[in-house]
Structure 1
Amino acid sequence: MKTSTEFALTRRQVLGFGLMLGGAAALNLVPGYQLVAAAQAAVPPAAQKIADHFSSVKSMSGEFVQFGPKGEQTGGKFFLERPGKIRFNYDGSSNFRVISDGKSVVILNKKLNTSDLYPLSKTPLKLLLDDRIDLSGGRVKAVKQEDDLTTIKLSDKSVFGNATITMMFDPKTYELRQWTITDAQGKDTTVMIFNVKEGGNFPADTFAIDYTANRELNTRTR
């Protein structure tokens, strides 16, 4: 897939995959959302149905387009296997890769010869990849139901600070359409997915992270 604009990805621009840790800035809720207080309201039935359906999808693949905080655009192909595993192969000369093996997330830029490693448990991406999408414990911050989209905003301040993930689903098929990561500074990165195929098996090395290579590379570049 060709994108209209190709740009050099940075750590901030891969926020679409939840790789920035939380900070002190307050988050802004999108107008029009139904706020859900953990101790005062149950999770809306529509949101629970969507979460249950999405949790039942154990693997999927397709294409994506990512929009950065300043409107930057790129794209590529993705592969997901629950729990915890995902891979994004970006188009472009940087040969960018983002891979989660269920424990860690690595950002690879072969052009710049960099490899940055993060714990999956400290990113909003964890909420997307859990074996079960957990809406309990006050994680649901807002729900918006429209004819063509159901939007669910999730956060877990104890895990990744003030970052949030907002997921948009088809209200009829419950299929995931896109998600937005809002970082602690209030900057958004949106990922839209399409040509999605649910199910399927992937080669064993699809989600493999070479920890030895990561350690050696970062030792040499210090």
Structure 2
Amino acid sequence: MKNDLSALGNFAPTRRQLLGLGLVAAGAAALNVIPGFELLASAQAAVPAAAQKIADHFSSVKSMSGEFVQFGPKGEQTGGKFFLERPGKIRFNYDGASNFRVISDGKSVVILNKKLNTSDLYPLSKTPLKLLLDDRIDLSGDRVKSVKEEDDLTTIKLADKSVFGNAMITMMFDPKTYDLRQWTITDAQGKDTTVMIFNTKEGVSFAADTFAIDYTANRELNTKTR
């Protein structure tokens, strides 16, 4: 998969593709990451030490900012900037005239489309993003569906029906630096949406309103559009 930023242009992601950032239903471009996975034999199977070490390292990153590229179901690409703060907070500012924003304040996730004047709200606890943004990435129990260790990539696939039904999240890390490279959300229909991150900075500070959600405006907007 090529990280071709010139292809981004002013592509406006659809609501389904926005959900690929970690919400209930996701879209996407196949990455062929599933074939070759070594499935854990049972819920009690030991998690590889390298995978747990990587997960613990990523959990220790309490704040991060950078850029992202999102790959959609038919090869569509869009991108922008992201901001992350544990526990539970993340923001995606999409490039282009669509002015999309996806914000999690630790309790809820809102999708804002200022061009269409829409605001869709979801509980963070019911999205795959919850596993990504927890204080500690929990690899216990039967959440770990597969782990694949390669020289240049460690891939961890997680699922939790109590959190987001039949959706899954696959996280890919650099095995040497333990840096998160990208994640893929797979929906109940087996479709994938991938988010690749780059130019990241850790230990950054954010303005107080970076992850704020205006619940009053959301309620008023959705009342008007009924």
Equivalent of residue 88 in structure 1, options 89, 92, 105? 92
The 1-side partners of 2:113 and 2:40 are apart by: 39
The corresponding residue for 2:116 is 112
Query: For the structure 1 residues 91 and 11, does the alpha-carbon distance in structure 2 shift closer, same or farther, using more than 3 Å as the test?
Result: same
Give the letter for the 1:4 counterpart.
Answer: A
| Aligned-residue offset at 1:64 | 0.3
Q: Deviations over 1:131-171 (max 9, x none)?
A: 00000121110111111110000010122111000000000
Equivalent of residue 46 in structure 1, options 44, 47, 50? 50
The corresponding residue for 2:16 is 12
User: Is 1:145 paired with 2:149?
Assistant: yes
Contact 2:44 2:141 in 1 (8 A): no
Contact 2:16 2:25 in 1 (8 A): no
The corresponding residue for 1:71 is 75
What's the RMSD between the two structures over aligned residues? 1.7
| Aligned-residue offset at 1:81 | 0.1
The corresponding residue for 1:178 is 182
Give the letter for the 1:155 counterpart.
Answer: A
Q: Deviations over 1:46-93 (max 9, x none)?
A: 110001100100000000000011111000000000000000000010
Contact 1:98 1:107 in 2 (8 A): yes
Contact 1:152 1:166 in 2 (8 A): yes
The corresponding residue for 1:208 is 212
Contact 1:3 1:73 in 2 (8 A): no
Q: What is the TM-score when the length of structure 2 is the normalising length?
A: 0.92
The 2-side partners of 1:210 and 1:37 are apart by: 45
Q: What is the TM-score when the length of structure 1 is the normalising length?
A: 0.93
| Residue segments in structure 1 that go unaligned for 5+ positions in a row | 23-27
- SS of the aligned residue for 2:209 comes to helix
The 1-side partners of 2:15 and 2:41 are apart by: 33
| Aligned-residue offset at 1:122 | 0.3
Please identify runs of 4+ aligned residues in structure 1 that moved more than 6 A. Answer: none
Q: Deviations over 1:72-131 (max 9, x none)?
A: 100000000000000000001010000000000000000000000000000001000000
* Same amino acid, percent of matched pairs: 86
| Residue segments in structure 2 that go unaligned for 5+ positions in a row | 27-31
The corresponding residue for 2:104 is 100
Give the letter for the 1:72 counterpart.
Answer: E
Contact 1:62 1:77 in 2 (8 A): yes
